[in-house]
């Protein structure tokens, strides 16, 4: 695997947005987390976002916080996320690690870039890293041809939007709300406004995260974004299941429903 850009381009050629699904490695256990990621791929998810468990996930809501705490208690570490990348690649999908920067730094930036490329991964989403402080990662990602996905938010000034998207490769992560992640009862208008502002400064695909939990919301976001990112809803499907096996089935069913929603919306203009 290389950049996720061809995946997003292929979805657009089909007249739809891409579906991106997040799960942390190691929850509810290592094997089940990978099985759930594969189930997402088999049920219509285009790109898998593999969460690297972190002890202080300040930007994540309670559903994901609980999951990563359980994953850490079960021994999940960054190396296991790299293993999950290889499994997703074997399933035929692109993947990106979603990681707080401290974990990348501890693992070693050049080492992680090399290991990720060797495992068939496409790159990193770094929610707490800003481009001005990303010199080492930019150099390593250039060396190994990896995507680097930075975040923009409603609070981003026009100048910061332009600077951030210039450093991105693959797509731009459009955080539709301020605050921590989690499912929302509705998609707020800030997402579409931020998409319009960001489109004015880049031709890169724009993928919206934070809050989508059902097919109706997925279709709504797919009407104006290039990609729909779903995280907490997938984690909750695993967390609420009576057993890991039932959780994997629930993740697959949710992925199929969200994929149908994404495919029901016209491609964004």
In this predicted model, what pLDDT tens digit does every residue of 122-151 receive, in sequence order?
999 999 999 999 999 999 999 999 999 999
CA distance 250 to 241: 7
Q: What is the structure's pLDDT at 181?
A: 47
Q: Has residue 128 been placed in a domain?
A: yes
Q: Has residue 166 been placed in a domain?
A: yes
Q: Has residue 37 been placed in a domain?
A: yes
> Is residue 240 among the annotated active site residues?
no
Q: SS3 for 6?
A: helix
Residue whose C-alpha is closest to residue 168's, from 217, 211, 193, 201: 201
Confidence of residue 185 (pLDDT cuts 50, 70, 90): very low
Domain that holds residue 88: 5-264
Task: Please name every residue paired with 22 in a beta bridge, in sequence order, or none if there are none.
Answer: 49
pTM: 0.93
Q: Has residue 204 been placed in a domain?
A: yes
- Of the residues 29, 42, 49, 69, only one is catalytic, namely 49
Q: Has residue 162 been placed in a domain?
A: yes
In this predicted model, what pLDDT tens digit does every residue of 19-54 receive, in sequence order?
999 999 999 999 999 999 999 999 999 999 999 999
Residue 256 burial (C-beta neighbours within 10 Å; 0-12, 13-18, 19+): middle
Compute the C-alpha angle 82/86/90, nearest 5°: 165
Q: Has residue 269 been placed in a domain?
A: no
Q: What is the structure's pLDDT at 268?
A: 57
The yes-or-no verdict on residue 257 having pLDDT over 50 is: yes
- Of the residues 9, 31, 46, 60, only one is catalytic, namely 60
Residue whose C-alpha is closest to residue 22's, from 177, 233, 187: 233
In CATH, what number is assigned to the domain containing residue 258? Answer: 3.20.20.70
Which runs of consecutive H residues, i.e. helices, occur in 74-157?
A: 78-90, 101-107, 109-118, 135-144
> Is residue 60 among the annotated active site residues?
yes
* Between 60 and 62, the higher pLDDT residue: 62
Report yes or no: 121 and 2 within 8 Å, Cβ to Cβ: no
Q: Has residue 54 been placed in a domain?
A: yes
CA distance 136 to 20: 27
Phi-psi category of residue 210: left, alpha or beta, with phi > 0 → left and psi -120 to 50 → alpha: left
Q: What is the structure's pLDDT at 113?
A: 98
Number of domains in the chain: 1
- What is the overall mean pLDDT for the chain? 92
In this predicted model, what pLDDT tens digit does every residue of 66-117 receive, in sequence order?
999 999 999 999 999 999 999 999 999 999 999 999 999 999 999 999 999 9
Task: Please name every residue paired with 228 in a beta bridge, in sequence order, or none if there are none.
Answer: 19, 208
């Amino acid at each position: 695997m290389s950049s996720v850009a061809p995946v997003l381009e292929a979805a657009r050629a089909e007249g739809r947005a891409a579906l991106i699904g997040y799960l942390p490695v190691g929850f509810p256990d290592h094997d089940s987390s990978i099985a759930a990621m594969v189930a997402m791929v088999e049920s219509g998810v285009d790109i898998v976002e593999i969460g690297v468990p972190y002890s202080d996930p300040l930007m994540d809501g309670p559903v994901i916080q609980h999951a990563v705490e359980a994953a850490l208690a079960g021994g999940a570490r960054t190396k296991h996320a790299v293993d999950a990348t290889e499994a997703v690649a074997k399933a035929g999908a692109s993947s990106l690690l979603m990681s707080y920067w401290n974990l990348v730094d501890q693992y070693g930036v050049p080492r992680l870039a090399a290991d990720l490329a060797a495992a068939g991964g496409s790159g990193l989403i770094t929610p707490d890293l800003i481009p001005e402080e990303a010199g080492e990662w930019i150099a390593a990602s250039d060396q190994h041809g990896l995507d680097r996905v930075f975040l923009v938010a409603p609070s981003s000034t026009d100048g910061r939007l332009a600077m951030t998207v210039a450093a991105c490769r693959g797509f731009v992560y459009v955080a539709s709300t301020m605050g921590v992640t989690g499912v929302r009862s509705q998609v707020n208008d800030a997402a579409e406004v931020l998409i319009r502002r960001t489109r004015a400064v880049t031709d890169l695909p724009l993928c919206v995260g934070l809050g989508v939990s059902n097919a109706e919301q997925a279709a709504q976001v797919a009407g104006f974004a290039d990609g729909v990112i779903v995280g907490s809803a997938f984690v909750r499907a695993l967390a609420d299941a009576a057993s890991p096996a039932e959780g994997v089935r629930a993740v697959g069913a949710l992925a199929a429903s969200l994929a149908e929603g994404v495919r029901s919306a016209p491609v964004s203009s």
